[in-house]
Amino acid sequence: MDKNQQIIDSAISQEYEYGFTTDIEQETIPPGLNEDVIRLISSKKDEPEWLLDWRLKAYNQWLKMDEPNWSKLNYPNIDFQAISYYAAPKEKEKLKSLDEVDPELLDTYNKLGIPLEEQKMLANVAVDAVFDSVSVTTTFKEELEKHGVIFCSFSEAVHNHPEIIKKYLGSVVPTTDNYFAALNSAVFSDGSFVYIPKGVRCPMELSTYFRINAANTGQFERTLIVADEGSHVSYLEGCTAPMRDENQLHAAVVELVAHKDAEIKYSTVQNWYPGDPKTGKGGIYNFVTKRGTCLEVNSKISWTQVETGSALTWKYPSCILKGDNSIGEFYSVALSNNFQQADTGTKMIHLGKNTKSTIISKGISAGKGQNTYRGGVKIMKGAENARNYSQCDSILIGDECGAHTFPYIDVRNPSAQMEHEASTSRIGEDQLFYCNQRGISTEDAVSMIVNGFCKDVFNELPMEFAVEAQKLMEVSLEGAVG
């Protein structure tokens, strides 16, 4: 048993592979938050008046709000005045092609294995890379334009497609939605924007990579995806950050809108720096609001997330099922190892008739990690014949970690069909010995068992990302078994 514990421990203590910093000229504004800072951000982005007003309104609402404390997360108060709200790689001119991107930056993305290069054309992935707060480059713009697909940085969209932004910004996640969403609305610096026109099946996966580089900087990006009638898009985001002793704040907002017969598939592989494995020092505080609206009939939104990083994760990708026959899905793998804490889940709000939701949540706790599933299913009065299936499984590795499940169910229409399954298991000594006896090392056995446990979720990811997620899981679990 002790030997196994040692192996688990050494596996868990695997170093974070993306912890390098990039030495690049940065333009950062001093820490602190007030109206002038917001004006400064807005002017740096050359924003129209209406957007500045929108930000200021959000800021004033935020001032009146309290930081939420209902989660199971345990962390010291965040000093919002100690954070810098804007950092950007210094650029000379507007970048037109990859050749013009700072080579240091490209090198960083290469280290991350991000498919920024044209060679990745084969992989059919268009990438928008957000470095600290600013979107650096978007590949395959032309190819996408042929299909009428808009995929660009949020700032660009504000200038080039103001009517769409104006119409949808805040329509799914209002500025007042919650504390972190309000903060994001006030200070967001960039992010990604996607518009898929009527009847178009987006010809490639769209992908954004987020990277926090600068110290003492928060990252507040905003993503908006609008899928027009009968369209289809699959979108993936990935996240990494350098190792730093201080905690860094990430508070993003993602809004999805699916019109009639449209489908949005949104996948996340989150691997922010989780903090020092031995002391728990540093790491990203990840407070994210993600929500999609199935606005019209027969629309579908599917969230898939693999959350392996961050010191704290506070995240509940949700679906508002407004259109009749609309479908919401949530597939999640959340890993808490060492000192990581995750409080994550989803909310499915059924408004339309014959709406259907599926929730598959897989929580993995190792080391001293604490993993909480928090999910809500709401069947409103008008949601005739709504259906929900929820499955929440937890697996424990070692005996110092914890798993918690909080399913909230609120049914206001008697025709609803609800199904809920939950399980908690532990990787047993007998299982590990059985694998050992077949020549499989304890480390490989743990990752094999965990991957088996996560299979239903990994299967939802686009192929190449599923492989990536599996590898990531292995790395994140290294040392997890003893």
Among 26, 171, 385, 436, binds other proteins (CB under 8 A): 436
Among 90, 111, 455, 471, binds other proteins (CB under 8 A): 455
DSSP state of 240: E
440 binds other proteins (CB under 8 A): yes
- Indicate the residue among 279 and 425 with the shorter CB distance to other proteins: 425
- Among the listed residues 456, 400, 397, the one whose alpha carbon sits nearest the alpha carbon of residue 424: 397
Q: Compute the residue count for the chain.
A: 482
470 binds other proteins (CB under 8 A): no
Among 305, 357, 365, 442, binds other proteins (CB under 8 A): 442
| Cβ at position 361, least distance to other proteins in Å | 15
| Cβ at position 435, least distance to other proteins in Å | 8
Q: Which residues lie below 8 Å from residue 449, measured CB to CB, with a gap of 6+? A: 395, 427, 431, 435
Specify the stretch interacting with other proteins by CB under 8 A; choose among 214-222, 363-371, 431-439, 471-479.
431-439
How many Å apart are CA 1 and CA 111, to the nearest integer? Answer: 38
- Among the listed residues 254, 263, 194, the one whose alpha carbon sits nearest the alpha carbon of residue 226: 194
DSSP state of 408: E
Neighbours of 273 (CB within 10 A): 23
431 binds other proteins (CB under 8 A): yes
How many Å apart are CA 393 and CA 371, to the nearest integer? Answer: 11
- Indicate the residue among 117 and 444 with the shorter CB distance to other proteins: 444
177 binds other proteins (CB under 8 A): no
Tokens encoding 417: 């069909």
391 binds other proteins (CB under 8 A): no
Longest pairwise C-alpha distance within the chain: 69
Among 2, 99, 163, 399, binds other proteins (CB under 8 A): 2
Tokens 């949530």 locate to 330
433 binds other proteins (CB under 8 A): yes
429 binds other proteins (CB under 8 A): yes
399 binds other proteins (CB under 8 A): no
How many Å apart are CA 353 and CA 350, to the nearest integer? Answer: 8
438 binds other proteins (CB under 8 A): yes
425 binds other proteins (CB under 8 A): yes
- Indicate the residue among 17 and 456 with the shorter CB distance to other proteins: 456
Buried b (16+ CB within 10 A) or exposed e, 320-338: bbbbbbbbbbbbbbbbbbb
Among 452, 459, 467, 471, binds other proteins (CB under 8 A): 452
| Half-sphere CA count of 94, side-chain side, radius 13 A | 6
Tokens encoding 261: 């017969």
- Among the listed residues 350, 367, 213, the one whose alpha carbon sits nearest the alpha carbon of residue 277: 367
| Cβ at position 444, least distance to other proteins in Å | 7
- Indicate the residue among 206 and 450 with the shorter CB distance to other proteins: 450
Tokens encoding 130: 């957000």
Specify the stretch interacting with other proteins by CB under 8 A; choose among 169-177, 219-227, 346-354, 430-438.
430-438
Among 124, 385, 413, 441, binds other proteins (CB under 8 A): 441
Task: State the residues that interact with other proteins by CB under 8 A.
Answer: 1-4, 425, 428-431, 433-442, 444, 448-449, 452-453, 455
